[in-house]
Structure 1
Amino acid sequence: MKKPVIQFEHFNFKYRTQVDPTLHDINLTIYEGEKVLIVGPSGSGKSTIGHCLNGLIPFSYKGEITGSLKIMGQETKDLDIFSLSKMAGTVLQDPDGQFIGLTVAEDIAFALENDVKNQDEMFSIVKEVSTMVDIDGHLQSSLHQLSGGQKQRVSLAGVMVDDVDILLFDEPLANLDPATGKHAIHLIDRIQKETNTTVVIIEHRLEDVLECQVDRIVVVDKGRIVADLTPNELLASSILEECNIREPLYVKAAKYAGSDVTAESKPSHIDTFTIDRDKLHTWFEATNPPERKKKAEPILELESIHFSYLPGREIIHNVSFSIEKGEMVSIAGKNGAGKSTLASLICGFVKPNSGRILFNSKDITNDTIKERAERIGLVMQNPNQMISKHMIFDEVALGLVLRGVSETEIKERVEKTLRICGLFPFRNWPISALSFGQKKRVTIASILVLEPDLIILDEPTAGQDFKHYTEIMEFLTELNEQGITILMITHDMHLMLEYTPRAIVIAGGKKIADDTSANILTDSVVIEKANLKETSLFDLAVKAGIKEPREFVGRFIAFDKEVRTSWQ
């Protein structure tokens, strides 16, 4: 019989600053060597469960606990945070918040130095662990020179040196491109199998986690566990939809086609999923192709842009493209491809070495940042780099205040934007009380309230659950329909497919594709070069024998968007 390593029994937790408990009567047992995925909408309590496991509750986040939580048979309330850290290692959503050392080797060795290990033993452990996570070739590298996926490997190595019993991953895919995220899931799977460590993953991107086998999925909603099932059992139910959690796209498509999705049909992975080919064919033939937008005048044009931060090390190589008025376009590519640098060039934070940038047919290459900001708004990937006020209302109002807008109009515009971004109930809160995802929405609101002609968003939905993702994207769609042009830098293949009919792909600082999103995400050459990931809808269409799999992808996206819009 397997040994229980985590045991919640009638466990409740209430943060000191809140009136109502966040967790209600949690009963959950996780056994040695299991891999368990915890999913739930934002604010459901899933991250709070993670904080209970690694000791942040009650040692960093104070509150009232009732009931029992045992880890490795010991009551956590009788342990200190140091003892808990030796049992459960945490890999955070943002690896930068976890680094201590200046080099990879120093950071991995940090816990060993605290344990006063001798140098020979330390070198041996660091070498062994770094090899296990495939970062041994970068031991002398600076942490700031690493890609997102490499940083995550260093974080993982840093907790593995303690030989912990439990590995806790808090949204490990949030900041990774699709291919790197896929590698991360395979790495977690390999480590778990080789070491028999118990793995707990908290993540929004359910379909991506199911790339590798998971023992159970625990669904949390409103502070309660509403399901604890195998992946096949959960996907055969309606629980995910009821809790506003995105189902895998291939499962959603099968359900739209009227197929019976049962646990026996093994829907947890496209390769094992038994499908009803006839129903998928019938649905495809009865569904209309997506409407094509009429072409319009260009609003933004990049002509033969070259750029380098340092002489002789060009980052952007001869990039040209144009964005039409009223378009919503994705810029995609792997971490470090040059996507954010392009945004900086468009906004004027850096100037190109050669080439021109036109806005409404006027050359703005030499315009100042202030001049461009009147027409172009940028929402950065990291909200902490944008926030300068303590209170939410003041932060969203700041741009309008600097432009001399009247107090009455400021109040009206800020409150309207906060309502649409789902932040109105928190308008008088300090920003320090918000989660990463909520801070992200504040920064989006602070730009949207200025009503620019073109908005550039760098990873607008990172860390958002399906409900808030949909709310933000539908709001952006409304703005787009009113004539505001939107350019999105994204790793989210779902976002590309659902909301941006066109995508531009950057790899190694060069433009390698400019096509419909459906065509790009079904092009194996582009996918490989740019670290993208083929959509499972394409795989489903091929499996069903549909002769136009790309057309199937386009029709599903249009149909799904129409269905979800009608529910709102």
Structure 2
Amino acid sequence: MRKKIIEFKNFNFKYRVQAEPTLKDINLTIYEGEKVLIVGPSGSGKSTLAHCLNGLVPFYYRGDMSGELKINEQDIRTKNIFELSKIVGTVLQDPDSQFIGLTVGEDIAFKLENYCVEQKKMKEKVEKSARLVDIDEELQSSPYRLSGGQKQRVTLAGVTVDDVKVLLFDEPLASLDPATGKGAMELIDNIQKQDNKTVVIIEHRLEDVLHCDVDRIVVMDNGCIICDTTPDELLSSNKLGVVGVREPLYITALRYAGCDINPEMSPKSVKTLNIENCKSKVKEWFEITTISEKQKKCDTILELQDVSFSYSQEKQILKDVSFKINKGDMVSIVGRNGAGKSTVSKLICGFYKPTSGKILFDGKDIETESIKSRSEKIGFVMQNPNQMISKTKVFDEVAFGLKIRGVDENQITERVHNVLKTCGLYGHRNWPISALSFGQKKRVTIAAILVLNPEVIILDEPTAGQDFKHYTEIMEFLIDLNKKGVTVIMVTHDMHLMLEYTNNVIVLSNGEKIADDSATNILTNNEIIQKANLKETSLHELAKKCNIDNSIEFVNKFIDYDRRVR
């Protein structure tokens, strides 16, 4: 008989500051050795459920609790947060916020030091845990200097070093490039199978998580569990669409072609998908679907000419990078973690000065322009929202840029309210920012820049941590802005975003530009995919399975059709 490791019975939880419960009548059992994915829109209760598992509820986030929650067959009310941390290890979406030690080795050892483990045994455990996640070569390195994928490995080693029974991952893919995210899923899968760990994953990027097998998917909405089933069963239904969770692209393509998706087709992955009964429908859809004409922009607004940058002579970050961005373009800058994407953004905004080369705006060299001067025409939204926030209230943060520019108070209120509605934050306009989730904070920083109406806006990972509804709202707002002539540049790991919304993609690898082309051409080019740690789109794989020779045209037709019907 399988052992119950997590058991919710008629469980409810209401934060003290809220009028309604965040979790309502939760009944959920997770067994030892299972891998369970929890999905749902923002505000559905996913994070609160996770906080219940790792002890933040009720020991840090206070509130009213009813019903029953047992972890490892023990009622959580009889345990404290320290005791629960021995059972449940948590890996957060932002690894930097989880680091304690000055070196990787010290950080992994932190738990053991708290347990007063003898030093020789501690070193053995640290080395074993580091080898398990393939980070043993970096034990003397600072965790803050590692790539995003390496940081995830350090935090994973830190929570597994004392042999916890449950691994809880809160959006582990949010800051990772596609190939590194794929590797992270494989690493989690290996640890689960090797040590029979119970794994609970909370993630918006459903298709990326399903790269490896998942036992069950739990769908949450409005504080309730509305579905608890296998991936094949869930993807055969329309329940994801109802709650606003994005289904895999190949599933959407099959629906557009009029295919009847059922569990027998094994739709959990494009690789396992049995397409035989659908080939003719997909081919027919491909043949009759046309692509709408798009106007090509040709006036350059931003240009980099042979730009290089280095922090020191030993480490060069960018090497002779050149590209042009036209007025009204919507452009993605992509590449592996550490490729130099964020550095390009900071050079354009003036936070860094190029070691050599020129940056032109409207044909004019902006080397001598200050950060303030550049900010009048170039808006920048950073990847980590905590690095941008300076006010305590949401309204004040979004209004700050307008206030220091002397905008009339009535106009400030109108513009701030409009942008907050677009970003899904109007209901939180008077909230303290400290009470928001990471994803909500991200939307606040985007709103604070969008409200200024810049000529060019650069967004570093704009959709990280966003559910499909808010992702779509933000991107549609950016499209409206783009149609009014604002040039939009997005540094992103999100292949869906670059496929759907950007007309051009600049690819960086090891500080060099290796491609400047359309998204579909990039994501069907194996050489570029390998060099830049990208991931082939599942639409390309679907086209091959259906014996469609021109997979690039198939992807283009899907993206165009998808945008029109949505």
Shorter chain as denominator, the TM-score bin is over 0.9
156-165 or 191-200, which deviates more: 156-165
Give the secondary-structure state (helix, strand or coil) at the position aligned to 1:349.
coil
Any unmatched runs of 5+ in structure 2?
none
The question of 1:48 aligning with 2:48 is answered yes
- The one-letter amino acid of 1:159's match is V
1:291 Cα offset (Å): 2.7
Give RMSD over aligned pairs.
0.9
Aligned partners of 1:107, 1:408: CA distance in 2, in Å? 50
Q: Is the 8 A contact 2:297 2:328 kept in 1?
A: no
1:292 Cα offset (Å): 3.0
The question of 1:66 aligning with 2:66 is answered yes
Aligned partners of 2:86, 2:304: CA distance in 1, in Å? 53
Q: Is the 8 A contact 1:24 1:223 kept in 2?
A: yes
The question of 1:393 aligning with 2:395 is answered yes
Could you give the per-residue CA deviations for residues 55-110 of structure 1, whole angstroms, max 9, x where no partner exists? 00000000111000011111111111111111111111111111111111111111
The question of 1:363 aligning with 2:365 is answered yes
Corresponding position of 2:135: 135
Give the secondary-structure state (helix, strand or coil) at the position aligned to 1:310.
coil
* Pairing 1:248-287 to 2, within 5 Å after superposition: 248-275=248-275, 276-287=278-289
Q: Is the 8 A contact 1:290 1:554 kept in 2?
A: no
286-295 or 71-80, which deviates more: 286-295
Q: Is the 8 A contact 1:289 1:551 kept in 2?
A: no
Give the secondary-structure state (helix, strand or coil) at the position aligned to 2:122.
helix
TM-score (norm 2): 0.99
Corresponding position of 2:522: 520
* Pairing 1:13-28 to 2, within 5 Å after superposition: 13-28=13-28
Q: Is the 8 A contact 2:523 2:536 kept in 1?
A: yes
Correspondent of 2:374 among 340, 356, 372 = 372
Q: Is the 8 A contact 1:270 1:536 kept in 2?
A: yes
Aligned partners of 1:312, 1:64: CA distance in 2, in Å? 56
Give the secondary-structure state (helix, strand or coil) at the position aligned to 2:13.
strand
Corresponding position of 1:216: 216
Corresponding position of 1:37: 37
Could you give the per-residue CA deviations for residues 242-300 of structure 1, whole angstroms, max 9, x where no partner exists? 01000000111011101111001100011111121101000001111253322321011
Corresponding position of 1:546: 548
Corresponding position of 1:191: 191
1:47 Cα offset (Å): 0.9
Aligned partners of 1:127, 1:343: CA distance in 2, in Å? 37
* Pairing 1:47-196 to 2, within 5 Å after superposition: 47-196=47-196
* Pairing 1:393-472 to 2, within 5 Å after superposition: 393-472=395-474
- The one-letter amino acid of 1:518's match is T
Q: Is the 8 A contact 1:34 1:215 kept in 2?
A: yes
Corresponding position of 1:344: 346
Distance 1:334 1:290, change over 3 A: farther
Give the secondary-structure state (helix, strand or coil) at the position aligned to 1:100.
coil
Q: Is the 8 A contact 2:127 2:136 kept in 1?
A: yes
1:522 Cα offset (Å): 0.8
Q: Is the 8 A contact 1:290 1:555 kept in 2?
A: no
- The one-letter amino acid of 1:317's match is K
The question of 1:246 aligning with 2:255 is answered no
The question of 1:12 aligning with 2:12 is answered yes
Aligned partners of 2:207, 2:189: CA distance in 1, in Å? 15
Aligned partners of 1:503, 1:316: CA distance in 2, in Å? 18
Q: Is the 8 A contact 2:297 2:329 kept in 1?
A: no
The question of 1:205 aligning with 2:205 is answered yes
1:313 Cα offset (Å): 2.6
Aligned partners of 1:320, 1:460: CA distance in 2, in Å? 24
Q: Is the 8 A contact 1:3 1:32 kept in 2?
A: yes
1:417 Cα offset (Å): 1.2
Aligned partners of 1:122, 1:354: CA distance in 2, in Å? 48
Could you give the per-residue CA deviations for residues 84-139 of structure 1, whole angstroms, max 9, x where no partner exists? 11111111111111111111111111111111111111111111111111111111
Q: Is the 8 A contact 1:541 1:549 kept in 2?
A: yes
Aligned partners of 2:112, 2:422: CA distance in 1, in Å? 48
Aligned partners of 2:356, 2:199: CA distance in 1, in Å? 50
Aligned partners of 2:349, 2:82: CA distance in 1, in Å? 46
1:308 Cα offset (Å): 1.3
- The one-letter amino acid of 1:139's match is L
Figure out how many residues of one structure are paired with residues of the other and give that number: 564
Give the secondary-structure state (helix, strand or coil) at the position aligned to 1:117.
coil
Aligned partners of 2:14, 2:414: CA distance in 1, in Å? 35
Aligned partners of 1:160, 1:468: CA distance in 2, in Å? 34
Give the secondary-structure state (helix, strand or coil) at the position aligned to 1:5.
strand
Aligned partners of 2:335, 2:192: CA distance in 1, in Å? 29
* Pairing 1:223-234 to 2, within 5 Å after superposition: 223-234=223-234
Give the secondary-structure state (helix, strand or coil) at the position aligned to 1:217.
strand
- The one-letter amino acid of 1:267's match is P
Correspondent of 2:482 among 480, 483, 493 = 480
Aligned partners of 1:34, 1:293: CA distance in 2, in Å? 51
Aligned partners of 2:271, 2:212: CA distance in 1, in Å? 11
1:311 Cα offset (Å): 2.9
1:312 Cα offset (Å): 4.4
Aligned partners of 1:468, 1:5: CA distance in 2, in Å? 33
Aligned partners of 1:266, 1:176: CA distance in 2, in Å? 27
Could you give the per-residue CA deviations for residues 506-537 of structure 1, whole angstroms, max 9, x where no partner exists? 11111000000011011110011111111000
Aligned partners of 1:294, 1:281: CA distance in 2, in Å? 29
Aligned partners of 2:107, 2:311: CA distance in 1, in Å? 28
1:2 Cα offset (Å): 0.7
Corresponding position of 1:496: 498
Aligned partners of 1:311, 1:89: CA distance in 2, in Å? 41
Give the secondary-structure state (helix, strand or coil) at the position aligned to 1:155.
helix
1:156 Cα offset (Å): 0.7
1:404 Cα offset (Å): 1.4
Give the secondary-structure state (helix, strand or coil) at the position aligned to 2:464.
coil
Aligned partners of 2:22, 2:154: CA distance in 1, in Å? 32
Q: Is the 8 A contact 1:329 1:504 kept in 2?
A: yes
- The one-letter amino acid of 1:409's match is Q
Could you give the per-residue CA deviations for residues 429-455 of structure 1, whole angstroms, max 9, x where no partner exists? 111111111111111111111111000
Aligned partners of 1:423, 1:140: CA distance in 2, in Å? 43
Give the secondary-structure state (helix, strand or coil) at the position aligned to 1:277.
helix
